[in-house]
Each structure stands twice: as structure tokens, then as C-alpha cells.
């Protein structure tokens, strides 16, 4: 018995663990953002780009002095040594004659090191500045991608919450529609109402049921979109457990001054500016410090002869490298200058557009508040109208057609209010995101 209990307990633990691994629940937008921060491929790709920009910056710093070491090692076996003809009288011979003299060494071993470091290299300075700007630009692009992701997630989050609320509303309305149908059916059986009234009420129930199914499908689509944005595996279920508070909250003077898009355009223009300097600096000389250190052994008997000494020549000096001017460098500089002018104009346009978008977000939030407030008032009026219409219908002083109209007005007004409230909450969190990620 004890063994069975242990097996059952272990099974329950495994089942609970499996359920935890295959189900994700989010109760606040922040929890959804935190998950996306860890699992979204777009965020991970941005982190890799950031790392790449960091190493490019390090590479540019190390390339500022461009230290390099050239090492050469050679072993030469002169199979046939060169022959030189010298005047014969130098060796006691007849004038006008020549004597063959073999010159050189048969076995030559040579090892040399030539370290070199740039003292003045203007192109490396420009590349370092370009790497710094590129690193900043990567950071800004990552922030823009993150902000866009969070805004998209917020829209899906509040659409989902609104749809969940609308499904509840429609389910309750479907129960009410069923109750009204039963009332009409009873009155029709008693010969009080017409067949058209009964058919209208049946059609209303079918229409309400269809609306419920459409809302459920829309909710599924929202979850599919959420999985794509957060890169959630298909076999993992997602659930948003948040209730849409029907109390309207409004924060006056809620502003944002996000300038990410302008910063991006400005940095792109600055990067082109460094490219201009880079092409110009290519025409300047590069001054390097050089050192030469070599070991050489020459012998006619063998390689690495221990009886022979090693010759160790050395020298130190400055090397000046001056490129020859060419038309390609000139045209490249001119082209980059034109692109820089265009980029600066785009940056000015981006600044104006950025400020306009900030004002638009504030306007959208205020508009969403006014809409939610008006839709709420409409909902209260339609709710009162339906209550009065139902009482009048039960008292046989109102037609079923008017009652059906009041019922549908109430349903649509409540659905509209749920949607308007979601838009209001999205407008606020969008401003919060733009104030946080900048």
C-alpha cells in the first residue's frame, strides 16, 4: 500500500511538472515583457549584434597602432654556386686573361624578425570613431526593436483581455437571448405574438451565438500572434489571466519625449561623416616604427654547422608609406559627402516626425479616454432602456421588435465599451513604454 502511494505521489509530481512546462500564464503586461526579454529571437539577435559591435570597437582600438610581426625562416642549398671571372694578372697570369672564381656559400640558413608598429595612422583614427558610432547605433536599433516589440505585445495583450471580457458578455447575452426566446415561444404558443416575432427572436439567438464563436476565433488568433512575437513553442499553451477593470482611469498631462528614431538618423549621418574623413585620410602618409633582427649562418659544408658562428644583423628605423593619389578615392569622397547631406536632411525630417509621433501618442490617449467615457455613458443609457423595454414588454405595451432592438443595443454598447477601455489602457502603456525605453 505504501509503495502504491509513493508511485501515485511521484506520478502527480511529474504530471504537475509537465503541466508547468507546457503552460504559460501572464497576469500583467510586465510579466509578458519579461518573458519576451528572455525568449524572443529578435531580442536575442539584438544582443548578438551588440556583442558584434563591441568586438568591432575593440578591433578598431587594437588597430589604432597596428602592431604586426613579420617572421621569416629559410634554408638555402646553393647546388651550383655562381662563377665570377676576374682578371688573370691579379693572380700572376698573363694580361688579358681571366680566372674562374666560385663565389658565395653553399648552405645559407636565415631567420629574421621584423616587428612594425604604426606611430601615425589617420585612417585608424577614423575607423575607431566609426566603430564607436556603430556601437551607439546598434544600441539605438536594439532599443527601437525592443520598443516596437513591447508596443505590439501590449496591443495583443489588451486585445486579448478585451476579447475575454467580450466573450463573457456575449455568453451572458446568449443566456438572456435564450430566456427571451422561451418567453416569445410561450406567447406564440398562446397565440399572443406573431410567427415573425418568434422567428426574429430565433434569428437573434443564432446571431448572438455566431458572434460568440467569432470572438473565440479572434481570441485564438491573438494567442497565435503572441506566440510568434515571443517565440513560444507551438506545444506550449498560453493564458492571459487579467481582468479588465470597467472603471475608467485617466492621467492628465501624460506626455512622452522619445527621440530614438531621430537619434538613429543622426548617428547614421555621423557615421557617414566619419566615412568621409576615412576616405580623405587614405591620402595621408602612414608613419611606422620598424626594427629588424636576424640570425644568419653561411657554410660550405652543412646546415647548422656548430663550428660556424651566427651573424646577427640589426637595425631600427622609420617607415613612411604614402599612397599614390587616384580618381577612385576622389569620387568615393564626393559620393560619401552627398550621402551625408542626404542623411542630415533625413535626420531633420526624423526629428520633426519623432516630435509629431510623441504628440500623436498623447492625442490618441486623450481621444481614447473621451471615447471610453462617452461609450460608458451610452452603455448606461442602453442598459436602462433595455430594463424599461423588458418591463413594458412584460406588461404587453411594447412590441417584441422594440425589445429585440433594445437587447442588441445593450449588447453592442457593452462590447464597444470593453473595446474602448482596452484602447485606453493600451494608449497609456504605450506612452509608458516610450518613456521607459529611450
Are 217 and 273 in a shared domain?
yes
Residue 293 is assigned to a structural domain of this protein: yes
**CATH number of the CATH domain containing 186:** 1.20.1600.10
Are 345 and 424 in a shared domain?
yes
Using the 3D structure, point to which of 267, 299, 321 is the last residue of a domain.
321
Residue 9 pLDDT > 70, yes or no?
no
Higher pLDDT, 329 or 127: 127
Residue 405 pLDDT > 70, yes or no?
yes
Can you give the chain as a three-state secondary structure string?
Answer: CHHHHHHHHHHHHHHHHHHHHCEEEECCHHHHHHHHHHHCHHHHHHHHHHHHHHHHHHHHHHCCCCCEEEEEEEEEECCCCCEEEEEHHHHCCCCCCEEEEECCCCEEEEEEEEEEEEEECHHHHHHHHHHHHHHHHHHHHHHHHHHHHHHHHHHHHHHHHHHHHHHHHHHHHHHHHHHHHHHHHHHHHCCCCCHHHHHHHHHHHHHHHHHHHHHHHHHHHHHHHHHHHHCCCCCCEEEECCCCCCCCCCCCCCCCCCCHHHHHHHHHHHHHHHHHHHHHHCCCCEEEEEEEEEEEEEECCCCCCCCCCCECCEEEEEEEECCCCCHHHHHHHHHHHHHHHHHHHHHHHHHHHHHHHHHHHHHHHHHHHHHHHHHHHHHHHHHHHHHHHHHHHHCCCCCHHHHHHHHHHHHHHHHHHHHHHHHHHHHHHHHHHHHHCC
Q: Quick one: angle between helices 29-39 and 122-189, nearest 10? A: 130
Are 99 and 197 in a shared domain?
no
pTM: 0.81
Are 316 and 401 in a shared domain?
no
* pLDDT averaged over every residue in the chain: 89
pLDDT of the residue at 302: 83
Q: pLDDT tens digits, residue range 260-277?
A: 999 999 999 999 999 999
List the single range of 184-188, 240-244, 374-378, 430-434 with lowest mean pLDDT: 240-244
Q: How many domains does the chain have?
A: 2
Using the 3D structure, point to which of 272, 298, 321 is the last residue of a domain.
321
Structural domain span for residue 174? 21-66+121-285+325-436
Given pLDDT bands bounded at 50, 70 and 90, which one contains residue 24?
Answer: very high
Using the 3D structure, point to which of 321, 347, 378 is the last residue of a domain.
321
**CATH number of the CATH domain containing 111:** 2.20.200
Grid coordinates given for 302: 652543412
Are 309 and 332 in a shared domain?
no
Question: How many C-beta atoms lie closer than 10 Å to residue 314's C-beta?
Answer: 10
Residue 14 pLDDT > 60, yes or no?
no
Are 219 and 92 in a shared domain?
no
Residue 235 is assigned to a structural domain of this protein: yes
Residue 14 is assigned to a structural domain of this protein: no
Q: pLDDT tens digits, residue range 349-359?
A: 999 999 999 99
Are 208 and 77 in a shared domain?
no
Residue 33 is assigned to a structural domain of this protein: yes
CB 41, CB 165: distance < 8 Å: no
Grid coordinates given for 102: 666560385
pLDDT of the residue at 325: 77
Mean pLDDT of 409-435: 94
Q: pLDDT tens digits, residue range 205-225?
A: 999 999 999 999 999 999 999
Are 194 and 254 in a shared domain?
yes
Amino acid at each position: 500500500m505504501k509503495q502504491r502511494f509513493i508511485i501515485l505521489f511521484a506520478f502527480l509530481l511529474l504530471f504537475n511538472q509537465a503541466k508547468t512546462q507546457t503552460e504559460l500564464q501572464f497576469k500583467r503586461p510586465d510579466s509578458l515583457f519579461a518573458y519576451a526579454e528572455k525568449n524572443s529571437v529578435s531580442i536575442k539577435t539584438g544582443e548578438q549584434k551588440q556583442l558584434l559591435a563591441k568586438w568591432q570597437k575593440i578591433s578598431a582600438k587594437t588597430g589604432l597602432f597596428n602592431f604586426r610581426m613579420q617572421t621569416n625562416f629559410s634554408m638555402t642549398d646553393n647546388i651550383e654556386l655562381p662563377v665570377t671571372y676576374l682578371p688573370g694578372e691579379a693572380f700572376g697570369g698573363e694580361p688579358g686573361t681571366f680566372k674562374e672564381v666560385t663565389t658565395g656559400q653553399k648552405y645559407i640558413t636565415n631567420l629574421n624578425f621584423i616587428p612594425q608598429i604604426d606611430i601615425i595612422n589617420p585612417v585608424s583614427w577614423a575607423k575607431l570613431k566609426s566603430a564607436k558610432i556603430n556601437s551607439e547605433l546598434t544600441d539605438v536599433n536594439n532599443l527601437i526593436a525592443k520598443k516596437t516589440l513591447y508596443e505590439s505585445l501590449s496591443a495583443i495583450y489588451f486585445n486579448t483581455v478585451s476579447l475575454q471580457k467580450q466573450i463573457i458578455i456575449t455568453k451572458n447575452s446568449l443566456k438572456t437571448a435564450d430566456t427571451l426566446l422561451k418567453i416569445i415561444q410561450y406567447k406564440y404558443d398562446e397565440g399572443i405574438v406573431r410567427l415573425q416575432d418568434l422567428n426574429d427572436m430565433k434569428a437573434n439567438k443564432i446571431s448572438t451565438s455566431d458572434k460568440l464563436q467569432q470572438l473565440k476565433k479572434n481570441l485564438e488568433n491573438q494567442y497565435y500572434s503572441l506566440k510568434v512575437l515571443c517565440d513560444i513553442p507551438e506545444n506550449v499553451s498560453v493564458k492571459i489571466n487579467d481582468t479588465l477593470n470597467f472603471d475608467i482611469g485617466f492621467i492628465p498631462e501624460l506626455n512622452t519625449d522619445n527621440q530614438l528614431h531621430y537619434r538613429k538618423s543622426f548617428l547614421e549621418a555621423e557615421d557617414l561623416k566619419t566615412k568621409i574623413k576615412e576616405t580623405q585620410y587614405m591620402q595621408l602618409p602612414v608613419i611606422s616604427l620598424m626594427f629588424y633582427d636576424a640570425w644568419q649562418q653561411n657554410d660550405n659544408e652543412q646546415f647548422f654547422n656548430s663550428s660556424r658562428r651566427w651573424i646577427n644583423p640589426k637595425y631600427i628605423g622609420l617607415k613612411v608609406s604614402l599612397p599614390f593619389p587616384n580618381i577612385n578615392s576622389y569620387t568615393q569622397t564626393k559620393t560619401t559627402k552627398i550621402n551625408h547631406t542626404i542623411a542630415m536632411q533625413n535626420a531633420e525630417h526624423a526629428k520633426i516626425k519623432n516630435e509629431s509621433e510623441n504628440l500623436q501618442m498623447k492625442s490618441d490617449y486623450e481621444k481614447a479616454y473621451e471615447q471610453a467615457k462617452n461609450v460608458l455613458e451610452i452603455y448606461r443609457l442602453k442598459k436602462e432602456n433595455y430594463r424599461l423595454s423588458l418591463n413594458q414588454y412584460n406588461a404587453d405595451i411594447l412590441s417584441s421588435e422594440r425589445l429585440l432592438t433594445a437587447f442588441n443595443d445593450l449588447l453592442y454598447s457593452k462590447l464597444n465599451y470593453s473595446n474602448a477601455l482596452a484602447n485606453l489602457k493600451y494608449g497609456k502603456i504605450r506612452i509608458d513604454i516610450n518613456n521607459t525605453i529611450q
